[in-house]
Structure 1
Amino acid sequence: MSSREKRGKVWLAVSGLVKSSEGHWLVVKKRYGGLKGQWSLPAGFVEAGETADEAVIREVKEETGIDCVVNGLIGLRTGVIKGEISDNMILFLLEPVGEERVIPQENELYDARFIDPAELMHDKGASILLRYLMNQNESTVNPGIEGINPGDQFGYTAYKIFL
């Protein structure tokens, strides 16, 4: 079964805007897909048994070797591919913890590094989403709220709200 078949017709992905202590952004150049060869944010699909915020931490680590914490939710990118597949991606703001030494995942990426967003603004290889994020305001970040129990009848093993 291909990964496309496994996901079905509703996709849930995550993406992380990781900002270094100097304000540089962690960006990657994928070897495949619609963003092949363009600078974009580390991203991937949410796996069974994990929350979206856990997925973005895992994906950033897998693609770049950078350990992060989630500072909050930036937004949602949603679309429909060829009138059939619901393609949804949750965008998070992350902060690196520990050493900021990037180790690109060579099977998936041509490159990964921290780049000054002002430099990315002038790079023709920056994705549309990156360009849009450069014009956003920090006040649009919504932190996560934990420790809420919506009721034992649901059987949640993890539950968070980003408001």
Structure 2
Amino acid sequence: MKRRKVWMCVAGLVINEKGEWLVVKKTYGGLKGKWSIPAGFVESSETADEAAIREVREETGILTEVIGLIGMRTGVINEEISDNMVVFQLKPLSAYIQVPKKEIMDARFLHPEEFDGHQDLSVMLLEMRSSKRVLQRKIDGIDPGDVFGYTSYRLFF
């Protein structure tokens, strides 16, 4: 899929009942070898929250559901590409991690306190650990009318 000049990405922070976060180490790109949360591009046929669920499943095998919206990362790459990421909090529905070795070198649940002393953490993961998250809840089942032709529609407030 050609990405053009505006990128829409998602990430899923999966927190289990022990308060541990699901983190991955990718085998490629700018985050190669660094702990980060599962993330990737939104496909044209899905909403951002659906993409977050899919990316977590593809990178870790963990099935999830969206709890709410945590925040957004936005930036411009080389003054020519708008790079945007929406970060969701997800609840795990399964616990067995299956790592696709081609894309992910490791995946595990770690407690945020275990991040101390690690030199191999993504900047976003470090900032998320130290921030006080205010979760925006998902509002589903809204009908915005026929004027835009939505086939899927959700709000996070």
Same fold per TM (> 0.5)? yes
Distance in 2 (alpha carbons) for counterparts of 1:131 and 1:153: 42
- 1:148 and 2:105 equivalent? no
Q: Which deviates more from structure 2 when the two are superposed, residues 83-92 or residues 122-131?
A: 122-131
Contact 1:121–1:131 under 8 Å retained in 2: no
SS at match of 2:107: strand
- Determine the structure 2 residue equivalent to 1:159: 153
Deviations 1:19-39 (A, max 9, x none): 111111100001111111000
Aligned residues: 157
> Given residue 76 of structure 1, which amino acid in structure 2 is its aligned partner?
M
Given candidates 6, 10, 35, the residue that maps to 1:39 is: 35
Matched, 1:122 2:122: no
Stretches of structure 2 that go unaligned for 5 or more consecutive residues are none
Extract unaligned runs of 5+ from structure 1: none
Q: Which has the higher helix share?
A: 1
Instruction: Tell me the distance in 1 between the aligned counterparts of 2:108 and 2:83.
Output: 26
TM-score between both structures, scaled by the size of structure 1: 0.93
1:134-162 per-position Cα deviation (integer Å, ceiling 9, x unaligned): 11224x11011111112212111100010
Match status 1:136 vs 2:125: no
The counterpart of 1:62, out of the listed 19, 40, 58, is 58
What is the aligned partner in structure 2 of residue 93 from structure 1? Answer: 89
> Which residue in the other structure is 1:81 paired with?
77
* Cα distance in 2 between the residues matched to 1:58 and 1:78: 21
1:29 to 25, 32, 41: 25
Q: Distance in 1 between matches of 2:85 and 2:117?
A: 25
Segments of 4+ in structure 1 off by > 2 A?
none
RMSD: 0.9
Deviations 1:67-93 (A, max 9, x none): 001000000000000000000000000
Contact 1:16 1:60 in 2 (8 A): yes
Question: Where does 1:6-21 land on structure 2 (aligned, <5 Å)?
Answer: 6-21=2-17
Tell me the amino acid that sits aligned with residue 118 of structure 2: D
What is the alpha-carbon distance in structure 2 between the residues aligned to residue 121 and residue 76 of structure 1? 24
Letter in 2 for 1:8: R
